[in-house]
Amino acid sequence: MNKLAASALTCAMVALAWAPASAAQDAPAWAYPVNPPDFKLPADDGSIRRVPDSTAGYTLAQVRDPFLAPDWRPQDHPTMPPVVAAGRKPDVLACGYCHRAEGTGGPENANIAGLPADYILQQLADYKSGARSTAVPGRAPQAFMISTAKAITDDEAKAAAEYFAALKPRRTIKVVESETAPKTFVAGWFLAAATPAAREPLGRRIVEVPDDLERFESRDPRATFTAYVPVGSVAKGEALAAGQGTPRLPRCSTCHGADLRGKGSYPPIAGRSPTSAFRQLYELQSGARAGPDAKFMKASVAKLSQDDMIALAAYLATLEP
| pLDDT value at residue 10 | 46
> 216-232, pLDDT tens digit by residue?
999 999 999 999 999 99
Report cis status (omega within 30 of 0) of the bond before 169: no
Rounded Cα gap, residues 113 and 169, in angstroms: 5
Same domain, 179 and 62: no
Average pLDDT over residues 286-297: 90
Q: For residue 230, which of 172, 176, 281 has the smallest C-alpha distance? A: 176
Residues with Cβ within 8 Å of residue 4, at least 6 apart in sequence: none
Same domain, yes or no, for 209 and 76? no
Other Cβ atoms closer than 10 A to 200: 12
- Quick one: pLDDT band at residue 19, thresholds 50, 70, 90? low
- Is the domain of 183 the same as that of 158? no
Q: Does the structure show a pLDDT above 50 at 165?
A: yes
Say what the alpha-carbon torsion angle 266, 273, 103, 269 is, to the nearest 10 degrees: -10
Cα–Cα separations (whole angstroms), residue 202 to 6, 23, 207, 285: 44, 21, 8, 24
Give residue 295's pLDDT band: very low, low, confident or very high (50, 70, 90).
confident
| Model confidence, pTM | 0.92
Query: Are both 121 and 73 inside the same structural domain?
Result: yes
C-alpha 209/C-alpha 243 separation (Å) is 30
Quote the pLDDT of residue 112: 98
Residues 157 and 181 in one domain: no
Q: Are residues 236 and 93 in the same domain?
A: no
CATH number at residue 184: 1.10.760.10
pLDDT score for 23: 44
Do β-strands 225-229 and 173-177 pair in parallel, antiparallel, or remain unpaired?
parallel
pLDDT at 11 over 50: no
Q: How many CB atoms lie within 10 A of CB 37?
A: 7
Average pLDDT for the chain: 92
Segment 299-320 shows an average pLDDT of 96
pLDDT bucket at 1, cuts 50 / 70 / 90: very low
13 and 156 in a common domain: yes
Q: Is residue 278 pLDDT above 80, yes or no?
A: yes
Domain end marker among 142, 165, 188: 165
> Does 49 have pLDDT greater than 90?
yes
In 3D space, the residue among 165, 167, 180 whose CA is nearest the CA of residue 265 turns out to be 165
Q: How many domains does the chain have?
A: 2
Neighbours of 38 (CB within 10 A): 6
**20 and 140: one domain?**
yes
| pLDDT exceeds cutoff 70 at 247 | yes
Confidence of residue 25 (pLDDT cuts 50, 70, 90): low
- Of 165, 183, 208, the one marking the end of a domain is 165
**Predicted local distance difference test score (pLDDT) of residue 293:** 84
**Mean pLDDT computed over 274-278:** 98
Rounded Cα distance, 265 and 303, in Å:
25
Q: Tell me, yes or no, whether 23 and 158 share the same domain.
A: yes
154 and 188 belong to one structural domain: no
The verdict on 153 and 265 lying in the same domain is: no
CA distances from 55 to 48, 50, 58, 71, 101 (A): 11, 8, 10, 10, 16
How large is the average pLDDT for residues 157-181? Answer: 97
pLDDT at position 38: 87
Q: Is the pLDDT of residue 214 over 60?
A: yes
The verdict on 298 and 277 lying in the same domain is yes
Distance in angstroms between the alpha carbons of the first and the last residue of the chain: 42
Please give the pLDDT value at position 234. Answer: 98
Query: What sections of the chain are H helices per DSSP?
Result: 3-18, 60-63, 82-85, 95-99, 117-129, 140-151, 154-165, 213-217, 233-241, 253-256, 274-286, 294-301, 306-317
Mean pLDDT, range 107-116, rounded to an integer: 97
Q: Give the per-residue pLDDT at 188.
A: 86
Return the percentage of the chain with pLDDT > 90, whole number. Answer: 85
The residue range of the domain holding 103 is 3-165
Using 50, 70 and 90 to split pLDDT, how confident is the model at 95?
A: very high
| Structural domain ending residue among the three candidates 165, 193, 225 | 165
- Position 130 confidence tier, pLDDT thresholds 50, 70, 90: very high
